Amino acid sequence: MGNGFGSLYIGASGLQNAQYALNTTANNLANVNTTGYVRQQVRFADKNYNKLKDPNKNVNMQQYGLGVSIGDVVHARDIFLDKSYRQENGRKGFYTSFYEITDYVQDLFQELNGEQFKQSVSDLHQAFQELEPNMDNSTQQNLVLEKADLLLSRTKSLYDDMKSYQSNINEQIKDDVDRVNKIGNRIYELNLQIQKVEAGGQETAMTLRDERDNLLDELGGYGSVSIKEDATGFTYVDFESTPFIDDNKCYNIGLQEDKETGFYTPYWTQLSDVDKQQYVRVFKKNEVISTDLNTDVGSIKAKLLARGDGYGTYQDLESEEAYDRISGCTMMETEAQVSALLHNIVTKINDAYCPNKTVDTDVTYTDADGNQVSLKGKKVLDAANCAVGEDGQLPPRELFTRVGMDRYTKVTGDDGNTYYVYNEEDENDPTTLYSLNNISINKELRKQITLMPYKNQNGTDYPLGEKLMSLWNDKEMTLNPYDKKPCTFEGYYNKLIGQIGNDGSTFQSASETLTGALSSIDNQRQQTMGVSSDEELTHMIKFQSAYNASSRFMTVISQMTELIVTGLK
């Protein structure tokens, strides 16, 4: 030892570093229940040694040390577990969001509370059954009108509820995107603060890093993230395979709002040209959803897919191409199927009351503009095979009418006969469609129920009841263009509910499985970064003992020094 006072340096370093270790352990214990807190671990190291002789000479090298120092305070995390956790958190967010949406749709159908919507379909069927034996019974006719009106109102209510829920999902998407932007901006700020603290190489920004890691964990639930940290402590983040945070800034996500629906679509502000209406979308909604492809990640993506880009109608089920545009969009697909169910019921009943036939002869008529129009190939009222109401007039009244458009246009052919030309539905003109927002119960029948068709024009019985009843047994409806098993109205409804239930069960199972996997990964993370009160108390005793030992060492050295000094007098 170079001199007696060197021992004091050794004792002082022991006291000082034992105190640092105690402070670190106390900090761990204070944060044992703090979410996201990463335990701090003290690593001791030797201080530099002083050499007393030239180490190049062939003699024993004499040196003495000055005690112990804090080599490092470890901020213990496992980057591989963190990556797995964030990926599984995003996948859990995806399937949980889908499950919550399908579960809510099931509730809208009230399948758990008396099957109210299905009952309205069955009630109309029952009303026709009671009408069949007495087609001229005004009481039974009124019952049909009432049940038809009830089916229409409940279908509209269900459809409006689904549209309202789409708007709710839309607001959730906006809130989520706002939160992602807020997280990104805060991570960028933390990056700069961490760089500043750690620039000297003497200190680790523990608290700032904990906050940043917590935000990165949360960000992983909203979408696919890729994270890389450089030597300065700056973290670069890619969101959905696009730079989100770099050393320049956080690139906030914008929201493009559809003028008709008000639906938001997230887009990259740095890659889009808003003035030219050229947007680069954050989420690729047309890609195949697959775990193998890592495309089933993020709650925002799930909500976008489930919400869709608009409101589903029965036209979306009329071709494979149209259906492919809404397939997988829970809300749009369900809306389209509900719309298709009502459209089929309405058009089939109207066709029974007012049957049509196709003209196959060369007959023309003059339209309002004076043009000659051919009737060949057009649909007209089959006047010879239709029932009429109490007034016996043609055309008979349909049960459901289009707002602002009659079922027929009356014309006189060049053969001198009167024709009632059916006004076809035109998908390019919403006013011509038997759609939810364009149909109502026939006002004339509301005023005078005896106008409801039930007899031949000559007053004899007409088998209208049998035709109406047969509609409920016809298997002509399919759930979508890929469904190859036609079914009845009620069978269609059961298929619809079954599909929603199966999807919900699949999403629930995936969500629960991923919740378990996420919990398992988090447990492994906690073994590395979590605080164990028992372990920290053990460390507390150890460092307290080290402090006491250093204190006793200092006392002994002090006594020895005092003895030497006093002995020299």
CB 542 within 8 A of CB 34: no
Residues 6+ apart with CB under 8 A from 412: 365, 418, 419
Classify residue 119 as left (phi > 0), alpha (psi -120 to 50) or beta. alpha
Residue carrying structure tokens 């939810």: 436
Q: How far apart are the C-alpha atoms of 482 and 333, rounded to whole Å?
A: 13
3-state secondary structure of 440: strand
Q: How far apart are the C-alpha atoms of 3 and 13, rounded to whole Å?
A: 17
Long-range contacts of 364-370 (CB under 8 A, 24+ apart): 364/413, 364/414, 365/411, 365/412, 365/413, 365/414, 365/419, 367/411
Residues 6+ apart with CB under 8 A from 248: none
Establish how many alpha carbons lie within 13 A of residue 134's alpha carbon, considering only the half-sphere containing its beta carbon. 10
What sign does the CA torsion over 179, 181, 187, 193 have?
A: negative
CB 88 within 8 A of CB 77: no
Phi and psi torsions of 239, nearest 5°: -120, 125
CB 528 within 8 A of CB 81: yes
Rounded to two decimals, the pTM is 0.84
Domain spans of the chain, in order of start = 5-75+533-567, 77-353+466-530, 355-452
What is the residue-level pLDDT of the chain in tens, covering all 569 positions? 445 566 677 777 777 777 777 777 787 777 777 777 777 777 666 666 666 555 565 555 565 566 666 655 666 777 888 899 999 999 999 999 999 999 999 888 875 444 567 888 889 999 999 888 888 898 999 999 999 999 999 999 999 999 999 999 999 999 999 999 999 999 999 999 999 988 877 777 888 888 999 999 999 999 999 999 998 889 999 999 999 999 989 999 999 999 999 999 999 999 999 989 999 999 987 888 888 888 999 999 999 999 999 999 999 999 999 999 999 899 999 999 999 999 999 999 999 999 999 999 889 988 888 889 899 999 999 988 899 999 889 999 999 999 989 999 999 999 889 999 999 999 889 889 999 989 999 999 999 999 999 988 887 878 888 888 889 899 999 999 999 899 999 999 999 989 999 999 999 999 999 999 999 988 888 777 767 777 767 877 887 887 788 788 778 877 777 777 787 65
3-state secondary structure of 264: strand
